[in-house]
């Protein structure tokens, strides 16, 4: 059976899916057409139910839950891994509502978390996540919400953290922060959905057998990153929740969905 599969080119996703899409494990008769795109692109595509299997921001789940089901494996969820609000200099929290803020997509969990923390902030500018640091540096925006590997590079560029959005979430809810998950369309038969879930689990298990060595597949999609940054990225966003969300992970997703509904 041939299926299209979408995920980001970031090291956490390529690390998880490498063995599956490159036949390093027994794929049990499945073959995959991969679409590597920025997560906000995947979010938009999901609104059209374009891909059978796709990585999505948890924030968009409410909009697509009639079409998609969340799998247990492959998620980015944890503690100390949330988006950061950064700027060129310290800015009082009460002034943030008046600033122009760059966000990495309207449907991202990063935007949802920022909106929960600063509900009065209305001046947002949607940008590709990798362009936000420079937009802050050159004054195109007053501040920005950064995700992915930018957590490890903003200080090197002289930028400062105004708030850790994940930390804010953890302190106010007690839950780990759900960032993104792997979703599969509900029109795919249930036994196939379960089989794909197990294959993603096995793919990640295989990836760990060679870690901290990085495969050519991971490195080829993160060409501008130092290998140490790639490992930091994987260590931050890939964990036991990625192998299996479990009860705690599912409860965290439910908590985020409730917060999104209130928004």
109 a known binding residue? yes
> What residues contact 183, with CB distance under 8 A and at least 6 apart?
46, 53, 54, 55, 56, 61, 64, 68, 69, 70, 71
4 a known binding residue? no
Query: Cα dihedral sign for 1, 200, 40, 132?
Result: negative
63 a known binding residue? no
57 a known binding residue? yes
Q: Is 148 a catalytic residue?
A: yes
Question: Which of 123, 148, 201, 206 does the annotation list as catalytic?
Answer: 148
Give the whole-angstrom CA distance, residue 164 versus residue 81.
9
110 a known binding residue? yes
Distances (CA, A) of 254 to 11, 44, 116, 177, 230: 26, 22, 15, 11, 30
The residues that are catalytic are: 148
Known binding positions for substrate: 55-57, 109-110
Known binding positions: 55-57, 109-110
């Amino acid at each position: 059976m041939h299926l299209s599969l979408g995920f980001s080119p970031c090291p956490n996703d390529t690390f998880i899916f490498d063995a599956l899409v490159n036949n390093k494990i027994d794929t049990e008769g499945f073959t995959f057409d991969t679409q590597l795109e920025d997560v906000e692109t995947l979010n938009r595509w999901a609104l059209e139910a374009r891909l059978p299997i796709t990585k999505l921001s948890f924030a968009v789940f409410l909009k697509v839950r009639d079409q998609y089901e969340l799998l247990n494996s492959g998620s980015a969820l944890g503690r100390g891994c949330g988006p950061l609000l950064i700027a060129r200099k310290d800015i009082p929290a009460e002034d943030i509502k008046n600033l122009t803020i760059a966000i990495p997509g309207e449907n991202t969990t990063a935007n949802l978390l920022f909106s929960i923390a600063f509900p009065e902030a209305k001046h947002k500018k949607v940008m590709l996540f990798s362009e936000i640091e420079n937009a802050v540096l050159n004054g195109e925006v007053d501040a920005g919400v950064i995700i992915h590997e930018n957590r490890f590079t903003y200080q090197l560029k002289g930028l400062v953290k105004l708030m850790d959005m994940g930390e804010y979430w953890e302190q106010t809810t007690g839950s780990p922060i759900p960032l993104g998950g792997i979703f599969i369309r509900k029109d795919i038969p249930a036994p196939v959905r379960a089989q794909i879930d197990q294959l993603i689990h096995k793919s990640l298990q295989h990836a760990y057998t060679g870690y901290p060595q990085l495969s050519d597949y991971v490195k080829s999609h993160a060409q501008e990153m130092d290998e140490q940054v790639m490992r930091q990225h994987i260590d931050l966003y890939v964990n036991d929740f990625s192998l299996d969300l479990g009860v705690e992970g599912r409860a965290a997703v439910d908590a985020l969905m409730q917060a999104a509904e209130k928004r």
